[in-house]
Structure 1
Amino acid sequence: MPKKSSLETLVDSLANGSVLRDLFNFTRHFSRSSMEEMRAHLDFSDLQSFYRLATHIIEQSHDIIELVDLKRQEFVYVNPQFTSVFGYEQHEVIGKSPAQLLRSGEHPEEFYQEFYETIRKGETWSAEVTSRTKSGELVTLETLASSIRTQGEVTHYVVIKHDISERKRHEATKRQSQKELAMLANTHPLTKLPNKRMFTQSLEHTIKKSERTGESFSVFFLDLDNFKTVNDAYGHQEGDRFLIEISKRLERQLQNEELVAHVGGDEYALISKLSDRNDLLEVGKLILRTVEQPVEGINVQVTSSIGVAVYPRDAKTSEELMRCADLAQYHVKESGKRGIEIFNEDLRRKLHAEQESKDLALLALREPERIVPLYHPIIDRDGIVQGAEALMTIRDKNGKIRRAAEFINTASKMREFSHLNWFMYHQVLQDLDSLAKRGIYSRMSVNMPKRMIADPAFVEEIESYRKGTAVRPSQIVLELTERGYDHSREELPKNLERLREQGYCVALDDFGKGNNNLDSLLLPVDYIKIDHEVTKNILVDEQSLKKVQLILTASTLFDYPLIVEGVRSEEMLIQLRGLGVQYFQGNYISRPVQLSTYRKKAGRRIVEFNA
């Protein structure tokens, strides 16, 4: 009887039902028709047909199929796909050890020991195996090995391998991409420090941990003072280099802390395990020294303002803790910058007042009918009421009227502030309309933030409110508020020109306060309104008097009539009138009044002057 080939030996081995079943279950690329055809021949009634079919499947399979002599540890047969994947021709493999040819060194010896023990027991073994090809390349293979028995003894095993290297590379690339995306999402793009998102997540995690352990910790907020000067003097590229250097220093000096984050612009945040006041002050001093060390090539003194809050003493939620630290930092800024402030009870009272102001503003946003304008009369040099400034008040839940001083600073920082201004403007228009229907065409001043007026849609929107009423544009005086706004931006002067073309009037509010007023004189306006802080001491302070005279000269030069607010006494009124001021407003003349009272004053003389 002629000796069987290695392939015939494999086919004979596959005649064992369990091995054949494993072949069906784990081979990935056998066609469905071939598998069905193979199942149809499981009774092996036509052995010759079975041999032909099995041989075809093994030779054409896209999976690697190997037959190995267990005792000798030698390849008996490999199919053509083996050559395609590993690069070895069949004659290079037969009689050689799988371990000698294919082991990659990626798996420990215990891995292979488990394999052989499983095979010797006559069981099936499966795993992902990394092997080395003839060229030295590593490939990853889904591997199934089944024992083959001869007369009850395991003598061979058949191995079916599916190449998943491409899938593995794709998964690795995907993991790397996800890792890079996570890095982008959680780090500042310039300095590579954790960003605000990462800081907030870490703070939440630290709070949960402290809830379990009962340990305190602290949050630092620090802002770089005078950094804008670096950008202005050296350009943004050098400004970026400065931030990168400061970030490296902070990361290096504060490496023992929980987290150092770059939360935006020139702002940083720190989570520290420390909570003792003296320890916190020492960390603050370290930050001050670190920031103030010169950066090569940049001759600007940059300092830092630092605010600190302690968990759980100051706050028990991440949002409240950050607000406490932010308020402490703001206090340093307001006190002249460069320093450290630890949150305390005085700041807590301020925070409480701020929250109360915010709640009041939110109440008005939800219920606009709570906005009640009061009107502060403005008289001319003859004492006749020519108009009034509309002052926003809010009726609280108890029915009490709350003045703007109680909420306006907090409200102006809210995103919804523009809605409050539009609600107020709408109410003023309704009041003016009711006066017009009585034949009273009084002029009303309404405060409007410059950034609102600079909006491209502002002119159309303000007109849309007015239409449908009897109010004339000339009755509306828009008082420009919001000190520090960049007047060089083109949108504001363009819109002011358009408003004046349509008949609206414009006044510069709070003139003489702040440091941008000379620039604002170049805006197209109709009136200058002197801030009450400028005039309050003119009776006793010569410098205050000179400042008013200087503003009068400027108003004459630009041909802007002057309105002085904050007139508190007859002497003050007489002196200002003697200087040449045209219009006056203040509590000596009249306190802010409701519409019904203002209606009786409009157009009438309410102050008598001696000839």
Structure 2
Amino acid sequence: MNAFLAYHDSLTELPNRRMFERFLTQTLEKSKSSGQSFALVYLDMDRFKSINDSLGHAVGDQLLISIAKRLQEQIRETDLVARMGGDEFTVILPSIRDLNCATEVAKRIIEKFQEPFIIEQYELFITTSAGISIHPNDGEDSSTLMKNADSALYRAKELGKNNYQIYTASMNIQTYKLFNEWGLVPPDEFLPISEETGLIIPLGQWVKQTVCQQNKKWQQSGLRPIPILINVSAKEFLSRVIIHDIQQALSDSELDPQYLEIEITEGSLLENADSVMTILHILSKLGIKISLDDFGTGYSSLSYLKRFKRTINILKIDKSFIQDLHRDNDDNVIIQTIIQLAQHMNMSVVAEGVETAEQLHILKRLKCDLVQGYLFSKPIPAAQFASLLEKGTLVPLMNENEQEQYPYENKRSYFRVDLHFPLLASMTVIEINEKNIELGKTDIKSHAQ
């Protein structure tokens, strides 16, 4: 039973991602030795999220089970259909004569999905989109074949869903052209559309490359090195190319991994726990820190925190909790508990959405490690951010009343002097824990505020 669960999805009992990867590797080896082609079909259910959100997860789960059965009915015994996570499935078609064999399977699947699914008292209509890549024409390795099948899937979504597309090299060019045409769109509108259309994977690749290159440029210009955090969606995080994309971005930019952080949501932990754990361990070995975003808004299971505590470095408290922070508010106890729990698990804690001096004051009292929010700065372009890095510090943007109500508290043992100009000096450490030491001297530069 344990062996079965290791290689099969617990809900649909289809082969899982691990089994898929093993079968894909074996099919690649056989194809190279025999000279026969094989096809990879990437499937995504159109508007599944709407059904899941409106009718509930129980109905959604039953629908996924029915989808799995319907897919299995359309393939040969020698083929493999696997659930990759969420509403995504893949089909491997070994030893095909030509491209038509793959397109016929895709057609059968799409046509079969025109029939309704009967789940409890509901008659549900759902369609599917498919992307096809062929070995060896569209890739010589697993990663390339998956990436190209995903590009074809995105094209199918772009053309109105409920169809299949065969990968062509021009698809990658069309994808990046769209990035430039969309312009500035709010994240809460842009990201769901990107996930629904399949654009999220190539978009994420572009973001990783751009962020790593920009951070390296700042370092090369002499600015203080800092880590930059990238948001990664559940779909992107569970994609086969995520590790390759991150390594490629770091390699191309020559950025040290300690200056890149990856942010995931609670939902990502629940999609496919085994795959998530594997990816987290790999990222941790690369020296990349992981941040868990919007904590408290989703499932917030303590068992998940315990399981992933060695791979998650930062816990971010959702802004919905921070907005309710007030003096003598009983809700503050919840925040304090989250902070203490995370710190006990050796995680740093970040409070999101800090906008008032009162919130900052309470969070300091609760010993929160870090804060982020409009109290310090709104999102700004890279050039302005470089100026902030050069300055070195951020001062809370408080009005006069807030400054009087929450004055700066100097908790240092020695008086602090704010310098108007940089000061160059020589320093040596002569004593640590009442023990005399000799370390020599070093030059230090104190930056002006």
The TM-score, its normalising length taken from structure 1, stands at 0.37
The TM-score, its normalising length taken from structure 2, stands at 0.50
- The structure with the larger Rg is 1
